[in-house]
Amino acid sequence: MKKSIVVFIGALALSAFSSQGLTQTLDKIKSTGVITLGYRDAAGPFSYLDDKQQPIGYSMDICRNIAQAVKTALNLPELKINLNPVGPSTRIPLIANGTIDLECGVSTNNAERQKQVAFTPTTFVTGTRLVYLKTLKVQSMEDLRGKTIVSPSGSSNSKVLNEYNTKNNAGLIIVGATDLPEAFLMMQTGRAAAFATDDVLIYNMIANSKSPSDFAVSAFSLSVEPYGIMIPKDDPSFKKVADDAVIKLSKSGELDKLYDKWFMSPIPPKGANLNMPMSANLKKALANPTDSPDPKVYE
């Protein structure tokens, strides 16, 4: 009887150890032969669908480079890449529960998120701005007092807006949207006076709109937002492979080429060109790779 109990306890311990090992991302990928990338369907030029409904973009290219590094590190010549759609409110839970291994979108690296997930070194630096119809004259946030401002639910921009509203008693009516296209449409149709999100996303949406000249972008910015590829927390082995891949892209100049491809050249599906030169903030981040969530590091 005692021997049976010992064997049973030993089996439980071995099972627990094995399960714990498989929760580590590299172990999981090696055992399944699959790495899963989370993508956004309308967050160009970082992650969006082309005319064949396939995800493409700057973040997707970076993630594919990380996947290649994982393939090499694990010696998996037939590593399969699965693609899983994510949104502003689902991306963190899907990383945290292991559904996706890399989140290849437009995720700001901040201290609050680092409590739940980790990030690779910064791959882009942006800031929260407002887009609105040119008929609305906006010189400062005071011009928006009493007006409705929309931002995607669960986004860092929504958090920035709410904090600004409370701190400055700004009198803004802040509402959420499911995603970027819905928020942009709400602004276009007058259901919101302005739409707040990262400036690069604003310029992309304007460039791809039917009437780009209808819109204006605020000269002021409410935040500095470093982007990184989101990865599972407390997984140093996987983070090292992902970090090394991004650092290699940065130091080799390949990330500069990817930047030119997506921000300084015509891109699918309409051939729009953002003509957005690399900022001094991003040049600094690429020259000295860091996963710091502190906005001051990038100023």
Reported as a pLDDT band with limits 50, 70 and 90, residue 277 is confident
Predicted local confidence at residue 3, as pLDDT? 39
Residue 15 pLDDT class (50, 70, 90 cuts): very low
Quick one: pLDDT band at residue 299, thresholds 50, 70, 90?
Answer: confident
What gap in Å lies between CA 229 and CA 66, rounded to an integer? 10
Q: Are strands 117-119 and 230-232 parallel, antiparallel or unpaired?
A: antiparallel
Residue 152 one-letter amino acid: P
What pLDDT, in 10s, does the model give residues 175-217? 999 999 999 999 999 999 999 999 999 999 998 899 999 999 9
Q: What per-residue confidence (pLDDT) applies to 275? A: 85
Helix (H, G, I), strand (E, B) or coil at 209: coil
What single-letter DSSP state applies at residue 108?
B
**Could you tell me the residue ranges of all domains in the chain?**
24-125+226-298, 128-223
Within 13 Å of residue 136, how many CA atoms lie on the same side as its CB? 25
Q: Tell me the pLDDT band of 151, cut-offs 50, 70 and 90.
A: very high
> Sign of the CA dihedral 105, 132, 196, 257?
positive
pLDDT of 233 strictly over 70: yes
What totals of helices (H) and strands (E) does the chain contain, helices first?
Answer: 10, 15
Q: What is the mean pLDDT of residues 279-296?
A: 94
Contact between 111 and 97 under an 8 Å Cβ cutoff? The reply is no
Point out the least confidently predicted range of 7-11, 46-50, 236-240: 7-11
As a whole number, mean pLDDT of residues 63-90 equals 96
Alpha helices in the chain (DSSP H): 2-22, 25-32, 58-74, 91-96, 156-168, 180-188, 199-207, 236-252, 254-263, 280-287
- The pLDDT assigned to 59 comes to 98
**pLDDT of the residue at 5:** 40
For the residues 142-167, what does the mean pLDDT come to? Answer: 96
Please give the average per-residue pLDDT across 74-87, as a whole number: 96
Cross-sheet strand order for the sheet of 128-133: 173-177, 148-152, 194-198, 128-133, 215-217
Q: What is the mean pLDDT of residues 220-227?
A: 92
**How many CB atoms within 10 Å of residue 236?**
10
pLDDT at 280: 87
pLDDT of 160 > 50? The answer is: yes
Tell the burial category of 234 from Cβ atoms under 10 Å away from its Cβ (0-12, 13-18, 19+).
exposed
CA distance 43 to 46: 6
What's the rounded Cα separation, in Å, for the pair 225 and 199?
A: 10
CATH number of 24-125+226-298: 3.40.190.10
Structure tokens at 273: 């060109």
Reported confidence tier of residue 34, pLDDT bands at 50, 70, 90: very high
The mean pLDDT value for 235-261 works out to 97
Q: Is pLDDT above 80 for 253?
A: yes
**pLDDT grade for 22, boundaries at 50, 70 and 90:** very low
* Averaged pLDDT, 124-149: 96
With bands split at pLDDT 50, 70 and 90, how would you rate the model's confidence at 249? very high
Q: Are 264 and 276 in contact (CB under 8 A)?
A: yes
Residue 88: exposed, middle, or buried by beta-carbon count in 10 A (0-12, 13-18, 19+)?
A: buried
| Buried residues in 65-84 as b, exposed as e (16+ CB within 10 A) | bbbebbbebbebeebebeee
Mean of the per-residue pLDDT values for the chain? 91
Does CATH place domain 128-223 in 3.40.190.10? yes
Q: Is 211 exposed, middle or buried (0-12, 13-18, 19+ CB in 10 A)?
A: exposed
User: Would you state the pLDDT for residue 122?
Assistant: 98
When pLDDT is averaged across residues 20-40 and rounded to a whole number, the result is 86
Per-residue pLDDT averaged across 212-238, rounded?
95
